[in-house]
Chains A and B, each alone.
Chain A
Amino acid sequence: MKLTANEQAMLEGKYGAGAALAMEIQVAIGESFDAERMVEITRAHVATSNQEADTWFAEKLLLGGAYCKIRPTVNPGFNLKYFQQISEVAEEDAKMMERTHNTYKGLGAVLTYDCTPYLGSNIPHLGEIIAFSESSATPYVNAVWGARSNREASQSALCAAITGVVPEFGLLLDENRKGDILVRVEADMKSDFEYQLLGFTGKKIGIGVPVFVGLPAKISPEALMNLGAQLNTSGAFGMYHIPGITPEAPTPEVAFGGKKPVREVVITNKDLKEILEYFSPASGTIEFALLGCPLLTISQVRDIALVIENKKLKVPMFVLVNSLTKELAKRMGYLDAIREAGGHLVEDTCMDQPPFWHSFKGKVGVTESPKCAFYMNRREMTYIVRDIETCVEAAIKGEVK
């Protein structure tokens, strides 16, 4: 790669060991993709997870004197104060969260603790070059906002936030943003939930940039959030096109850049049913409900409040949101509705965190998110996946119909 004098100086340690390490990693990434140069970014989102690897790496940068040139928004760990109020938090878990908080604070991150920055706190404009990690975030900023980000790892996005640049390759370049797989959706996309299932067909869609045709003309932000989250659980998709929604794709022809698709995939009701069956254990009895992967929006919280109002929950239910949504829910009465039923509305918390691993280990729960169900399998939790309303009804009855 050809570096500018300043980038070379950073690599050689003129700005400290942390910045040098960040640049070294980015050069290695750039060289592996044959990038010729670095380009400046204007935004970043780091998928901070409060997991050991992420915090260990961020600490290493901080101890090396790094500070973010482009202050990134960050993903949630867990809300230590909230969980200390309602349960015992093991000392090592509390320490880990404090470590993560202090590390990212020290690096100059904007502590949003939200995995959906593209809906509020960090929205790019068309063509903006940015470094966004997080499953649902990378496809959203590329496909919906028309910005340009590669599918960054949490660590590479943090490096970019520190150096202020990214290697130029992949989705930063026009030619790689065009669609090459035609995905003909023949399934009935009745609600936002079907987009969870559609997203989980990533293995069938295969490697490339899908162009979805046959979808309804109006698609909600929640549906697009679901689609991206699941595409990047079942596969690896930084970019897709939905003609009429993706700014670069007014029509399928433009989405494909005038070329023929290399492959055509048809998604039917049967495909979506198969995904649902993959996440449907034999028994319908559940012991808890965990909603919000990605974090739910105020409109989804309203849906929950409407189902739950004046009812009592039979099993514990946690609804995960960002801090703005929590505040809105408080103002709008949804928080009271959920609390009075016995549920929790918690901000700044990811489902893949110690408070849930400990309390739900070995149990069967219900969630709206295939992503949550898929990853939590490794934590010895079994999840039934259903739409949000069915999840809440299940938490009221203690079973999934």
Chain B
Amino acid sequence: MSQDQNVFKCHKISKGVASGEALVSQDDMNFYMVEPSTGIVVDRGNSIEGRNITGTVLIFRGGKGSSVVMADGLYQLTMTKRAPRAMIIKNPETVLVASAIVMKIPLVDRVDPKFYDTVQDGDLVEVDANQGIITVTRKQA
């Protein structure tokens, strides 16, 4: 098994280091619309509707939705151990930013655009928010 590794710069929002398999959504996320007991996205029309976000490094556009349910969504997922390990976004907005900081989930933005051409679902992604570095490893058969 050979490995293909790429490193990208990013900007820290919520501190921490974590890694997991990549899951890419083309849409904004509201974690209240993820079933806490399973980690499955129930937001109708989201490009990852029906997918499981448990333990992933979740890559999406940004947050959407109400100012209180976002934190509760992340909190419930954290309690059931179904939360994403880290999050990579394009558009930071205060509700998601505050929720991630409160729930201590690493969150970064301002990623090198090449990252988005490279990363695919299932890649192993390490997010080091503290150093501002993302490492993408493609597993090859």
CA distance A238 to B61 in the complex (A): 17
CA distance A26 to B109 in the complex (A): 18
Interface residues as binary, B91-115 with A (CB distance below 8 Å gives 1, 0 otherwise):
1111101110111000001000000
Interface pair B32/A151, CB less than 8 Å apart? no
Given A134-B67, A202-B64, answer yes or no on A156-B98 (Cβ-Cβ < 8 Å).
yes
* B85 part of interface (Cβ distance < 8 Å): no
Q: Which residue on B lies nearest to A166, using beta carbons?
A: B94
CA distance A135 to B32 in the complex (A): 14
Q: Which residue on B lies nearest to A234, using beta carbons?
A: B64
CA distance A157 to B71 in the complex (A): 13
Report A350-367 residues with CB < 8 Å from chain B CB.
Answer: 352
* A235 part of interface (Cβ distance < 8 Å): yes
Interface pair B33/A29, CB less than 8 Å apart? no
Interface stretch (choices A44-52, A78-86, A242-250, A300-308): A44-52
Distance in angstroms from B78 CB to nearest chain A CB is 9
B contacts with A, residue count (CB < 8 A): 41
A378 contact set on B, CB distance < 8 A? 32-33, 35, 42
* A283 part of interface (Cβ distance < 8 Å): no
A235 contact set on B, CB distance < 8 A? 28, 64
A contacts with B, residue count (CB < 8 A): 43
CA distance A56 to B76 in the complex (A): 12
Distance in angstroms from A107 CB to nearest chain B CB is 16
CA distance A53 to B103 in the complex (A): 9
Given A52-B75, A378-B35, answer yes or no on A29-B97 (Cβ-Cβ < 8 Å).
yes
CA distance A203 to B102 in the complex (A): 27
Interface residues as binary, A1-43 with B (CB distance below 8 Å gives 1, 0 otherwise):
0000000000000000000000001001100110000000000
Interface pair B66/A151, CB less than 8 Å apart? no
List the 6 closest pairs (A to B, CB-CB), nearest first: A53-B75, A153-B98, A133-B67, A156-B98, A154-B68, A32-B13
Q: Which residues of A contact B (CB under 8 A)?
A: 25, 28-29, 32-33, 47-49, 51-54, 56-57, 75, 133-135, 138, 150-157, 170, 202-203, 207, 232-236, 238, 278, 352, 371, 375, 377-378
- Further contacts, 17 of them, CB under 8 A, given A154-B67, A154-B71: A25-B101, A29-B97, A32-B92, A47-B68, A49-B72, A53-B72, A53-B102, A53-B103, A135-B65, A135-B67, A150-B94, A153-B70, A203-B45, A207-B91, A235-B64, A236-B62, A238-B94
